Amino acid sequence: MLRYLWLALALWGAVHPMYWFMTYMSQNGWSLSALIDAWYVNASTTGLVWDLTIAAIALTLWILSEVAVRRNWIALLAIPAIFCIGVSCGLPLYLYFRSKPVA
């Protein structure tokens, strides 16, 4: 049951932030560089960007180290999810893959 909660959180973590990114881009032009510039408009947003960047790097290292031991290669799909969508999708997606019952 918990496994499916991880999957639901991964889906929510993909859809909800993307809604806000798309809303911003539809109102301010479809420029990815403008979106990234908006992440650095003040100290608060810059701090949040660095917080999430450091968390993404730490999570990636954790995934790589665990995959090397567990040989759960499918869990590597969480890494592109982290950097293309966000930690809010990548972390629960990794936990979903990691919680697969051991055969």
Q: Give me the mean pLDDT over the 64-84 stretch.
A: 96
φ, ψ of residue 39 in degrees (nearest 5): -70, -15
- Helix (H) or strand (E) run with residue 84 in it: helix 78-84
**Mean pLDDT along residues 76-101:** 96
Distance separating alpha carbons of residues 10 and 71, to the nearest angstrom: 22
With CA atoms as reference, report the closest residue to 56 among 34, 25, 29, 79.
79
Q: What is the pLDDT of residue 101?
A: 83
**Section 15-30 average pLDDT:** 95
Tokens at 74, concatenated: 């499918």
* Average pLDDT for 41-45: 96
- Compute the CA torsion angle 20, 81, 43, 28 (nearest 10 deg): -30
Contact 7, 92 (CB under 8 A): yes
Grade residue 40 by pLDDT with cuts at 50, 70 and 90: very high
In this prediction, what percent of the chain has a pLDDT beyond 70?
99
Residue 62 half-sphere exposure toward CB, CA atoms < 13 A: 13
Q: Is the pLDDT of residue 103 over 70?
A: no
Six token digits for residue 16: 């909800």
